[in-house]
Structure 1
Amino acid sequence: MSRPVSPTVVLVHGAFADASSFARVIPELTAAGLEVVAPAVPNRSLVDDAAYIASVVRAIPGPVILVGHSYGGAVITVAGTEDNVQALVYLAGYALEEGESLGELQGRFPDSALADALVYTPFPVPGSLENSTAETGTDVSVDVDRFPAIFAADVDPGLAAVLAVSQRPLAARAFAEAAPAAAWKSKPSWGLIATSDRTINPEVERYGYERAGMTTVEVDSSHLVMLAHPKRVAELIQDAVRATAH
């Protein structure tokens, strides 16, 4: 009997962070013999970001476990429909329904502490300057002084300070775009609820996971659970790997 093909774990970061947010999880996964890819998400729009991650997934020969943190959860909800995606893992993330936007899902619940700490900055839309239209979009980030307490309360303060000034913002348009698909309807899914999350209301996470019928765990953690509790995150990913091995 042939041995199961080991999947590649694709780690999709969220807003206000980048792929380095998985820096403590990646060694745990590679030590377990797993191949890992942690791409940079453009953070320009939900549909475009999902299309980019889907292209990364398609380029991988063999099965994929797709992991999304925060906004990355919305991205894998759409990109996870790719044929070689075996399972989805959500880390303090958004599990959208088909036709639902981030704003709609969040709007069902009380705001988190993040809501009044957001900073809005215009940016030039690519190509508009060459066409003399000078169109602008809006980038959303977190107030640098408030970032550690809201985003990374249980992460080393020195690291949290670095993360605060190296944020990867999210274009505002991503909050209003409806998800064109919901991969959790056809793929087995796991979800981690960060119960001390001040970035996303934990009830938003819990609601999305329960609606999707996911296997869920709860961890007393800030939003950056991958840096605060990397072993627990790696264990959940490995649970998904083992459960879908064939």
Structure 2
Amino acid sequence: MPSSVNFGRPRRALVAITAAIAVVVLGMLGLAAPPAHAADPGKPTIVLVHGAFADSSGWRDVAATLRGEGYPVQTFDNPLRGPAHDSALLEKKLATISGPIVLVGHSYGGAVITNTHDPDVVANVYIAAFAPERGEFVQGLLNPITYPGSRLLPPALQLKVVDDPSGPGGKNLDGYIARPYFHEIFAQDVSTATAADMYAHQKSAALVANLEPSGDPSWRKVPSWYLVSRQDRVIPPALQRFMASRAAPGRTSEINAAHASLVSQPDAVAAVVVKAAGA
């Protein structure tokens, strides 16, 4: 019986050689794909926490910039049910991460990181975000007499009943921004197409989340940074500056952007995160 011949090894070798030649040729032509950025094990993990009326897709460009700088980046799918509920889930996520962590919260996400206490968190970064003191709540901070200017009011702000396992009877009353008002209130400095995409990713927030008193603030023990949005139509800039004066004294900067600065100016937002991470 003739002996069998194994052509697998030569064929695999030929494929490998061909692939290597292709990489060299493409590189000479300037067509080779850029190498993926590997996370630097010596850098803290950045955890990005979105706020109400958004989801984690809003962090897309910020995350890409940070990964390009060598930072490991994760996002948190914020349930938007209330600071205590949401921060408890965030703490469970942080428990799975090894090494130092930098928390970044936008809008209501700031209330969540304020109520998150994990020994590995080395910095908080607030991006046009709520940074409440103990006992304060979102709706109370948005007092139009003290800090006028928010346009997050009816008819722009609408309510609907949603299925919610954490709510009474498996239901909850959620708020969302109606389509005709979303662009001009939430992100007036992005294109119409970008605003439409953001609206499509909008997540409603439980009404009770705005009324729940905050617990002990993590910013009392964790070094914090704050980036104020000067053209914000959701959280008045004066209110942002007030909260920043308590949570991030000496570490506050401003940007000429709308509420969703993470979408309209991701490089500037990422720069503040990098500064906090480096400190």
Tell whether the 8 Å contact from 1:147 to 1:164 is kept in structure 2 after alignment. yes
Per-residue Cα deviation, 1:110-166 (whole angstroms, up to 9, x for no partner): 2511123100001244288xxxx8563211000111100111111121010122233
Matched, 1:232 2:272: no
1:164-214: CA deviation from partner (whole Å, max 9, x where unpaired): 233101000101111112000001000000000111111121110102243
**TM-score, scaled to structure 1:** 0.91
Aligned to 1:43: 80
1:145 aligned counterpart, secondary structure: helix
The CA distance in 1 between the partners of 2:211 and 2:200, in whole Å, is: 26
* Partner of residue 14, structure 2: none
Larger radius of gyration: 2
Superposition TM-score, scaled by structure 2 size: 0.81
Q: Is the aligned partner of 1:182 residue 2:224?
A: no
Percent of residue pairs identical: 36
Q: Aligned residue for 2:55?
A: 18
1:26-37 → structure 2 map (5 Å cutoff)? 26-37=63-74
164 and 4 in structure 1: CA distance in 2 versus 1, 3 angstrom threshold: closer
Q: What residue number does 1:219 align with?
A: 255
Alignment of 1:153 with 2:188, yes or no, is yes
Aligned partners of 1:137 and 1:171 also within 8 Å? yes
Consecutive unaligned residues of structure 2, counting only runs of 5 or more, are 1-39
The residue number in structure 2 matching 1:122 is: 161
Q: Secondary structure at the match of 1:74?
A: helix
Written as runs of structure 1 = structure 2, the 5 A alignment for 1:22-171 is 22-79=59-116, 81-107=117-143, 108-116=146-154, 117-126=156-165, 134=169, 136-171=171-206
Contact 1:5 1:63 in 2 (8 A): no
Q: Which runs of 5+ in 1 are unaligned?
A: none
**Residues paired across the two proteins, number:** 236
Alpha-carbon RMSD? 1.8
Q: Relative to 1, partners in 2 of residues 1:135 and 1:59: Cα closer, same or farther, differing over 3 Å?
A: closer
